[in-house]
Structure 1
Amino acid sequence: MTRLHRFEHLRLAQAFSDYLTGQKVKNSIEHSEFSYEIVLDDERQLPIAEQALTEFLANPTQSKYLSASWESGNTNSAPEQLSYANTDLFSNFKQHAGILTHSLFIVCCVIYGLIAFGVFNPLNSFLAFYQQQPFDYLQSWRFITPALLHFSLLHIVFNLLWWWQLGGIVEKQHGKQRLLLLFLFSAIASNLAQFFVVGPYFGGLSGVVYALIGYCWLFGQLDKSSRVQLPNGMFVILLGWLVLGFIDILPANLANYAHLVGLLAGLLLALVCHKLKL
C-alpha cells in the first residue's frame, strides 16, 4: 500500500477517494485523530493518483468531484471513518479513549462536584499537596492527587477536554501503561515544581495536559507515521497560552511552573520512548 495524501476534513477525503475509484484507482481512507489519509492499494497507480490529486487540490469544488460519490454509489468506502464521524456523542466519547482515560475523567468530575457543593475545602484536604517540609512519605499520594483538584467550571472543562482528546490518543495507540507512566511522571514533576517555586496552594490537571501536549507533538515529529501526533499550529497556540501565563495578562491564576515542567516532562518522555523504540 502507498500513502498518497492527508486531508483534514472527511468530506474532502471522501470526495477525492470516490473520484479515484471512478478512475479505477483502488484506494481506501485511513483515519487518524487529526486527519484522513488516502492510501493506494496498488503502488503502480501512484502517477495517475498524483496527477489527479494535483488537479483536485487546485479546484476541489468542481462538479466532477462533487458528483463523484453519487456516481460511484459508494457506501462502503472507509466504513470505520464514516461510522466514527456519524456516531452519536456518547459513542464517540466512549470509542475515542480507553478505561484509564475515562476513569480519571470521571474521578475528576466527582471530586469537582463534591468541591462545588461544599463537601470539603480542596486546598486543606487530604488530596492537596503538602503544606510544609519535610514531606510525610506515608502520605505520598499527595505528590499526585493535586492534579485531581479543580476550582472552577472553566478550569475543569479545559483540562478534561484535552485529557480526553490527547490521553485517549496515547492510550489507544501506545497503551494504558504508557499513559499511566506519563500521568504519574508529569503529575509528580509538575506538582513539585509548583510547590518549590510558588507554594502549596494549587491544583489541576494542567501540568499533565501540557505533558500530553509535549509528548504527542514531539512523538509525531520524531515518527511521521505515528498516529500519536499534534499539529504544529495547535502546538504553537498552546505554547502561546503557556507564555501568556508567565506574562500574567490572563484573567486567571495559573500554575505556570506546573505547566512548564509538565511540558518538559512530556517532551522528555516522548524522546526516551522513541529512542528506546517503546
Structure 2
Amino acid sequence: MPPTTDHAFALRQLDWSETSQIAVLLTRDHGLVRGLAKGSRRYRSSFDGGIEPLSVGHLEAIYRADRELLTFTGWSIATHHPRMRRSLPTYAAAMYLAELLLRSLAPLDPHPRLYATAVALMRRLDEVPLRSNELRDDSGDETARQAAARVAALAIVGVMDEVGFRPAGLDAANTLEPGKVIRFSPSEGAFRISHDKDDETWPVSAMTAQAVASMLEKPDEAIVDFNASLRVVRMMSAWFAYCMGRELRSVRLFLRTVTVGGPDRFDDPIA
C-alpha cells in the first residue's frame, strides 16, 4: 500500500531507539494517528531531523485499518513555532492545547474543522510579540499572558463542542434575576439560574457563562478579558475531567504560569 500525505500537527513523541521515534499527530484528513517513524532521527532521513511536538507539517504514512500503530515514512516541517517556544505562557497554552486533543479524540476519526482551529490557535500563539528574542521566563509579560489565556479558553471550548459536549442554557447570564445565581450542572452539561445550593452543581459567575456563550457563537470575534478567559479554562477543564474521567495534567502548569502567584491546587471547579 503506497503512503498517503496529509497535513499534520505533532502532539507528542517518544524516542523508540537511537534513530527512531513513536509519534502522535493530529492530521487534517485522517484524525489522530499514532505511528513508528523508523530512522527519523538520522542525519539523512525523510523526516527533517525528527518529529518535534507542537510543530506543523506534512506527514507521509501507510494507513492500515488492522493496525493501531501506523508506519510513518516521511515528515516535512512547515513551522515549529519558534516564537511561541520563547515564552512560558504561550508554551504552556500550546501544551494545554496538545493534551486536549490527545485526550479528547479517538484514533482515525477525522475532525478537519478542529484541525484548522488548532493550527490557527498555534499561529496566534506564535505571533505574540515578545519583550526579547532570548529564551526567558515571560510569565510577567502581560501581552503573552493575555494571549495565552485567550487561546487556552478558545481551545477548551472548541474541543468540547467538537466532541459533543456543548453547554446548554447559554442565555442564563442574560436572564439572571436579583437574588439568584448561575450554577452549572456537569451531569446535564447546562447552566441554570437558581437560589438553591446543590452539591451536584457548581456556582459560576455571569462573566463565565457569557464568555463561554460568546466563544461558542463567534469565536473569532469574541471579546473576552483575561480574568474571564481564566474562569472559562478552570470551569471547562473541570467539566472535561468530569466527562472524560481524567484531569488534564497540563492545566495546573498553565494556570501557575499565566497567573502571577497562581494557584497551587486545581480541585475547586467554582468559576
Same fold (TM over 0.5): no
**Higher CA-based Rg:** 1
Greater per-residue strand proportion: 2
Greater per-residue helix proportion: 1
Could you state the TM-score of these two structures normalised by the residue count of structure 2?
A: 0.26
